[in-house]
Amino acid sequence: MDIATDALLDLPAWQAILDREAAVFTELAPGASVAFVPRHAAGPDGVLRPSAMPSVAPLEVLAWERGADAMTAYARSYRGLAAAACDVLFFFERDALEAVLARADDGPFGEMKRRIRAGRILLMVLRTREELRARGYEDFLESLGLPFMGACR
Amino acid sequence: MSMQAQGTQYAALFRPGRIGRFETRNLIKYGACCVSNYNERDGTITPRELARTRVIAATGCGLITNQGAYPDPRGEGKAYFRQVAIFDDRFLPQFEAIARAIHDGGAVAIQQILHAGRYGGIDLGYCVQPSVVPQTLPHFRPPREMTRDDISQCIREHAEAAARAIRAGFDGTEVTSFMGYLLANFNSKFTNQRGDEYGGSIRNRGRFMRELIDAIKQATPGNPLVIRLNGNELMDQWGGNSEDECFELMAQAVECGIDMISVTVGWQEAPASSIGRDVAPGHWNYLAARAKRLFPNTLIAFGNRLPDPGMANDCLVNGEFDFWEVCRPLLADPDMVHKIREHRGDEIRRCIGSLNCLSRLFRDLPYTCTMNPALGHEVEPEYAVTPAAVKKKVMVIGAGPAGMECAITAAKRGHAVTVFERGARIGGSLLGYAGHDLARPEDLLSVIGHYEVMARKLGIELRFNTEANPKFMRSMLHRYDVCVVAAGARIDLQAYAALPGHERLLDALEVASGRVVPGKRVVVIGGGKIGLALAESLRHGGAEVTIVEQAKRIAGDVMPSFKWRHTAWVEELEIRTLLQSRVLRVDADGVTVADANGVETRVPADSVIAASPRKSNQELFAEFEWMIDELHGCGDALIPRGLDAAIHEGYRLGVRL
């Protein structure tokens, strides 16, 4: 993604979603953060590779971070799983995040939940359950249909 | 196929079999499908486990697989806090006791070795995997990549564990990829992103498995080795293996001389159901059939979501697999094999797929079974059904699960039991609930069917259409020694007394029973299991449905393993949910709802159903006190909960009357 040109990094649009859906994030502790990474990204050689690798060429990605009062959308650098300084990563297919943005005024997290279930967005947790609970993630992750306490289906 | 069929219907199941040099008396394999979590934190086996093992050994299966033990002293392979360990000779005596018990029961004994990989390291701050691929559920430990030396050590530890199991007296061993454990992590392209000889191509990804098989075969020559492999991971949409790749990996295992493949389905992280109640029995049988077609000279075992012995028997007859692998149905009814052999199939207490067993493991609790209250308590004499020292006349009020469980247990002990029920048949609230279940109503109805059969066989007197009004019941009390109030719970309509328009509310239980038929635009107050079941069913039938729930989320009282299913149905059926909301007033055209900020919304409706709160039917306690020798209660009549509590409390009361 390119911060200057990519519609998926339309930070004001994401900020509007975060403001409108603020109730989901009320329990999050300051500093809690998630990032959205394209599932595949081109390296310097132009070849597409999975972004869920320990290290990848730097990417500009969308991130949400809980401040003192609210969730803020911003762009940050992603260099692979090993250096991902956030709590949860969402690896997305482009059409899925576009669909979430398209539903900005009409249940964006419901759309995100559907896209997760359809396998178009994959979530990876970078903290233990206890750490996530301490940071207040239970509501947010449950709202995305992710069984916080685990599931066996 | 019905379990009630008689005669030779199950003949194929009871044919003798063979694995390696060991003969089996039938073609039923007890699967090590659940870690019990009954043991010590250091992996030592407890008396509770041994008592449970004796029950498993007596199931009548031809082949019994003991639950998975982790093979490494570091605990990287340990998935559950109280999982058994097999990394040292100090564990030998207890494994010897287990192997002996299995042999005493007449079965071939297999010990499973379970390294949980990305689900392991439960006591540690990390888990090990072929590559650093974080988990997709927030239950597990952060991953570390295994070095080549780690891999060699891990394989060596598996081989040593296998040799130890054989020394303990087991006849064979089993390694498992089910459900997403270390072996699966190497096999899957989702979790294996290595660039060395253990990653990349499917041949390279299968190298760990092949080396594992070779090492165990060398360490235990002459003893069969079983491997549990996915026929479908259900992870392909997240980058996992396709079904074809799963079978390619099976081919590699066959090439290495594996004695049996147990075909499985799904990972813990899979976004779709594999063994839940929403999957039809037999759904995955095609995977076993494919394996058998591809590998005709290798034994194939299968049992995922195949709880019906009749269907399993047919599969054997049709050559779809060689052994019926069964576990959860035997948790629900350890006597199932004996019952089908003795043509008492109608007495089987079926597994209803509630996955209570697994839900508890994720909370680090010992597993239990909704249908079998004694499971896990075998070591406690208090849970045994023993002849009553004093035979009593027992009156049970209510023929729901709590009342019937109590009645049946008491009758087995020799008490004379009469059940009074205001409805026309057994079932209580469960009957109405089952009628609206989108998953598999047959599972819930099987509970009622079981009670009907057992009541008849045990000579329990059933008095239907008998309202338990205090005057009538008082006139009966003198004939009994014990009264058990199992009258269930009701929707507490009094809670709405101050709500304008409350007289228009419909009682959810009346709607569920079919006594009241709602319109086509429905508001359901309460997003718990009763409200959800009704909302989903009505929506499925074409009604517009809105759920109004005061809490932040729906399904608060639903069993964890099924919560996701309800939320998914609500999404799929496009049921509108108004959370953190309450109804302000009801009128002829609908309801007015206020959210947490006081913002009001108007919801048009022709029917408004109150599905919460629930209130226990406890009035008879006060009426009967001082009027009978023993007065007890159980189930929702004490606190409104659900099926699991009803069955367990009814049983616990029944064994001590």
Q: What is the pLDDT of residues B200-221, one digit of tens each?
A: 999 999 999 999 999 999 999 9
According to the 3-state scheme, what is the secondary structure of B68-95?
EEECCCCCCCCCCCCCCECCCHHHHHHH
Mean pLDDT score, B458-464: 98
Contacts of residue B561 in chain A, CB cutoff 8 Å? Answer: 151-153
CATH of B493-615, one of 2.40.50.140, 3.50.50.60, 3.40.718.10, 1.20.1740.10: 3.50.50.60
Segments forming the whole domain that contains residue A75: 7-142
Residues 42-101 of B with CB under 8 A from A: none
Cβ of residue A150 closer than 8 Å to a chain B Cβ:
yes
Residues 6 or more apart in contact with residue B469 via CB below 8 angstroms: none
Is there a contact between A23 and B580 if contact means CB atoms under 8 Å apart?
yes
| Integer CA distances (angstroms), B531 to A69, B268, B497, in order | 35, 28, 20
Contacts of residue A50 in chain B, CB cutoff 8 Å? Answer: 193, 239
- Higher-pLDDT residue of B610, B621: B610
Burial of A141 (0-12, 13-18, 19+ CB in 10 A): buried
Is there a contact between A122 and B239 if contact means CB atoms under 8 Å apart?
yes
CATH number at residue A12: 3.30.1050
Cβ of residue B4 closer than 8 Å to a chain A Cβ:
no
Q: Is A153 within a domain?
A: no
pLDDT tens-digit readout, B62-88 = 999 999 999 999 999 999 889 999 999
Query: What DSSP element (H or E) covers B420?
Result: strand B416-420
Mean pLDDT score, A117-137: 87
pLDDT tens-digit readout, B302-330 = 999 898 999 999 999 999 999 999 999 99
Cβ of residue A129 closer than 8 Å to a chain B Cβ:
yes
Q: Rounded CA gap, B187 and B141, in Å?
A: 20
Q: Is A147 within a domain?
A: no
Contacts of residue B358 in chain A, CB cutoff 8 Å? Answer: 152
Residue B85: what are its φ and ψ, rounded to 5°? -115, 155
Q: Reply yes or no on whether the pLDDT at B2 is more than 50.
A: no
**How far B600 CA lies from chain A's nearest CA (Å)?**
17
Structure tokens at A7: 């519609």
Contacts of residue A145 in chain B, CB cutoff 8 Å? Answer: 564, 567-568, 571
Tell me the pLDDT band of B188, cut-offs 50, 70 and 90.
very high
Q: What is the pLDDT of residue B279?
A: 86
Is there a contact between A114 and B571 if contact means CB atoms under 8 Å apart?
yes
Q: Rounded CA gap, A26 and A32, in Å?
A: 11
Question: CA end-to-end span of chain A, whole Å?
Answer: 35
Mean pLDDT score, B134-154: 90
- As its CATH architecture, domain B387-488+617-654 has 3-Layer(aba) Sandwich (3.40)
Question: Is the backbone peptide bond immediately before B179 cis, with ω within 30 degrees of 0?
Answer: yes
Contacts of residue A141 in chain B, CB cutoff 8 Å? Answer: 138
Q: Rounded CA gap, B28 and B337, in Å?
A: 9
Name the nearest CA neighbour of B156 among B224, B258, B73, B67: B73
Q: Is A148 within a domain?
A: no
| Angular region, B495: left φ>0, alpha ψ -120 to 50, beta rest | alpha
Contacts of residue A90 in chain B, CB cutoff 8 Å? Answer: none
Contact B113, B161 (CB under 8 A): yes
Within 10 angstroms of residue A53's Cβ, the number of other Cβ atoms is 15
pLDDT tens-digit readout, B399-411 = 999 999 999 999 9
Q: Reply yes or no on whether the pLDDT at B288 is more than 60.
A: yes
Mean pLDDT score, B7-16: 86
Mean pLDDT score, B242-266: 97
Contacts of residue A128 in chain B, CB cutoff 8 Å? Answer: 125, 138, 140-142
Burial of B456 (0-12, 13-18, 19+ CB in 10 A): exposed
Q: Where in chain B is the domain with CATH 3.40.50.720?
A: 387-488+617-654
Cβ of residue A110 closer than 8 Å to a chain B Cβ:
yes
Burial of B503 (0-12, 13-18, 19+ CB in 10 A): exposed
Is there a contact between B135 and A148 if contact means CB atoms under 8 Å apart?
no
Is there a contact between B560 and A125 if contact means CB atoms under 8 Å apart?
no
Mean pLDDT score, A82-104: 91
**How far B474 CA lies from chain A's nearest CA (Å)?**
48
Q: What is the pLDDT of residue B1?
A: 39
Q: What is the mean pLDDT of chain A?
A: 86
Contacts of residue B237 in chain A, CB cutoff 8 Å? Answer: 118-119
Percentage of residues in chain B with pLDDT exceeding 70?
A: 99
Contacts of residue B598 in chain A, CB cutoff 8 Å? Answer: none
Q: Which of A54, A129, A153 comes nearest B274 by C-beta?
A: A153
Structure tokens at B230: 């996915």
Q: Where in chain B is the domain with CATH 3.20.20.70?
A: 11-361
A vs B, Cβ pairs < 8 A, gives 109
Percentage of residues in chain A with pLDDT exceeding 70?
A: 92
Contacts of residue B132 in chain A, CB cutoff 8 Å? Answer: 54, 81-82
Q: Reply yes or no on whether the pLDDT at A126 is more than 50.
A: yes
Q: Where in chain B is the domain with CATH 3.50.50.60?
A: 493-615
Q: Is A125 within a domain?
A: yes
Tell me the pLDDT band of A150, cut-offs 50, 70 and 90.
low
Q: Is B11-361 CATH 3.30.70.270?
A: no
User: How large is the greatest C-alpha to C-alpha distance in chain B, in angstroms?
Assistant: 82
**How far A16 CA lies from chain B's nearest CA (Å)?**
19
Tell me the pLDDT band of B6, cut-offs 50, 70 and 90.
very low
Q: Rounded CA gap, B652 and B283, in Å?
A: 35
pLDDT tens-digit readout, B350-380 = 998 887 887 787 777 888 899 999 999 999 9
Contacts of residue A82 in chain B, CB cutoff 8 Å? Answer: 132
Q: Reply yes or no on whether the pLDDT at A73 is more than 50.
A: yes
| Integer CA distances (angstroms), A133 to A23, A30, A82, B365, in order | 17, 13, 22, 19
Q: Which of the residue ranges A7-21, B173-187, B557-571, B620-634 has the most confident prediction, judged by mean pLDDT? A: B173-187
Q: Is B519 helix (H, G, I), strand (E, B) or coil?
A: coil
Tell me the pLDDT band of A51, cut-offs 50, 70 and 90.
confident
Q: Is B419 helix (H, G, I), strand (E, B) or coil?
A: strand
Q: Rounded CA gap, B231 and B233, in Å?
A: 7
pTM of the model: 0.89
Is there a contact between A125 and B137 if contact means CB atoms under 8 Å apart?
yes
Q: What is the pLDDT of residue B280?
A: 87
Cβ of residue A4 closer than 8 Å to a chain B Cβ:
no
Q: What is the pLDDT of residue B239?
A: 85
Cβ of residue A20 closer than 8 Å to a chain B Cβ:
no
Q: What is the residue-wise DSSP string for B552-568?
A: SSS-TTS-HHHHHHHHH
Cβ of residue A40 closer than 8 Å to a chain B Cβ:
no
Q: Is A134 within a domain?
A: yes
Question: Is the backbone peptide bond immediately before B604 cis, with ω within 30 degrees of 0?
Answer: no
Q: What is the pLDDT of residue A144?
A: 83
Q: Reply yes or no on whether the pLDDT at B520 is more than 90.
A: yes
Q: Reply yes or no on whether the pLDDT at A151 is more than 80.
A: no
Q: Is A86 within a domain?
A: yes
Q: Which of B131, B552, B568 comes nearest A139 by C-beta?
A: B552
Question: What total of structural domains would you count in chain A?
Answer: 1
**How far B422 CA lies from chain A's nearest CA (Å)?**
37
> ipTM score of the complex?
0.77
Is there a contact between A125 and B136 if contact means CB atoms under 8 Å apart?
yes
Q: Reply yes or no on whether the pLDDT at B3 is more than 60.
A: no
Cβ of residue B264 closer than 8 Å to a chain A Cβ:
no
Q: What is the pLDDT of residue B134?
A: 86
Tell me the pLDDT band of A5, cut-offs 50, 70 and 90.
low
Cβ of residue A35 closer than 8 Å to a chain B Cβ:
no
pLDDT tens-digit readout, B92-120 = 999 999 999 999 999 999 999 999 999 99
Name the nearest CA neighbour of B56 among B312, B367, B315: B367
Q: Rounded CA gap, B183 and B112, in Å?
A: 13
Tell me the pLDDT band of A43, cut-offs 50, 70 and 90.
confident
Contacts of residue A143 in chain B, CB cutoff 8 Å? Answer: 553
- Higher-pLDDT residue of B143, B74: B74
Q: Rounded CA gap, A63 and A37, in Å?
A: 9
Mean pLDDT score, B573-595: 96
Mean pLDDT score, A77-104: 90
Cβ-count burial B593-624 (b if 16+ within 10 Å, e if not): bbeeeeeeeebebbbbbbbbbbebbeebbebb
Q: Rounded CA gap, B170 and B95, in Å?
A: 8
Q: Which of B134, B553, B580 comes nearest A124 by C-beta?
A: B134
Q: Which residue of B has its CA nearest to A131?
A: B138
Q: What is the pLDDT of residue A4?
A: 47
Q: What is the residue-wise DSSP string for A42-100?
A: E-TTS-EEES-SS--S-EEEEEEEE-SSSEEEEEEEE--GGG--SSEEEEE-HHHHHHH
